[in-house]
Structure 1
Amino acid sequence: MRLTVDEYCKYFKMSKEMVNSKIRAKKLNYIIEEGKTYIIVTRSSLERDKREEINEEQKSTPNEEKQIIKPKTTVATVLALYQKENNFLKNKIVQLEAKIDKLIDDKEQMLRAERDKIEQIYSSKDEQLKNILELVNKKMKFEQEATTIHEVESFNHNNRMVPPENLEIVELKEYLKRLDLKSSQKKAIKRRFLDAYDNDVRVIHKDGKLYLDFSKYDYSDLLAY
């Protein structure tokens, strides 16, 4: 059996320099083939386990190494891979579309709920405004009725202020002296005549004094007290 220098060093646990030294000293049987040195050893000198290990190493040497045959990639294999990838992408797209649809539905539900809430708020506000307007209308109606009653009472009361017969144009101040009125009532009547002076033709102004013409006009509203 023959071993390479490296195999011999490994088996007998020697350095390569030592083995080469033994070869030069002709202490080892060796042969040279194609420029490579092989050491001749007897099989009996090798242990059974070492022998099997060396045989395995020799089988795996580059000269005797068997080439591993890789399976060839066929068109069918490539198509199958593409189809598998395509199916995977289709499933992903379906899942994404389902998620998008769900998000859209959730958004629409949220918007509808918000719209209903706003409508409810405005409806409540409209109801409150309606109630307020009804109260205002009732108050205004009540005030109008009270004013009408007061005007009727004032008119009835002013029936006593009809000027005496044959009285035509008279100064306001002189006329008020003839009436049995309180000072505050006289002042209120004067103020009323002054306020109506600019826009009431019944009030006559002459030489800084106010005059009443009972032959032409009725002063019951201005003389009310």
Structure 2
Amino acid sequence: MRLTIDEYCKHFKMSKEMLNSKIRAKKLNYIIEDSTTFIIVTNTPSITEKNEEIIEESKSVASQNTQISKPKITIATVLTLFQKENTFLKNKINKLEDKIDKLINDKEQMLRAERDKIEQIYSSKDEQLKNILTLVNKKIRIEREKEPLEKSNILEDFTHQGEAELVHNLNFIELKEYLKSLDIKSSQRKIIKKRFLDAYDNDSRVIHRDGKLYLDLSKYDYSDLLAY
């Protein structure tokens, strides 16, 4: 005998899900004709088979009940999830902020150490500069102490030089001026001047500068040329 799926389920009081499961598990013989599935029934199912069918159907019903009893996702559930996620992100942000603060503190410590090092270098340089300035000031003070003595020596040298120059200037005189200083007649002065002019080329005592005749009384004796 062969039965359709509906007939089989009605006859054996079985659900279509259970029947399809048995067909897929190849626990029943069936044929397909013109897109219609027929179950081949050879004998009445035994009590064991009926018990298995009841057990399997009970499992199927229990599975459906479980699926139905699954809790639906509510707004409260979504909010709870968001709150948990928000708490996680806040904790992560706090950890990142702590790391940033630590990096900033480390950098500030490095900058302070570098600043202290630079200040120490400049402090040592300032000390060296102070020592140099002290030496310079000491040298200037010593030079100032020496300065009056040097000025005194220079002034003394200048005085001696001036005296020598004055003596030299008094002994080095123009012939015309010297003749004017003598108490002689004009004719006699002319004779003496002519005598000097005649001796100019041959006598080294006669000095000629800028067209004028000069006497160097400190070096030469002119008594023969000055006789009258």
- TM-score normalised per structure 2: 0.46
Higher normalized helix content (fraction of residues): 2
TM-score (norm 1): 0.47
Higher relative contact order (CA 8 A, sep 6+): 1
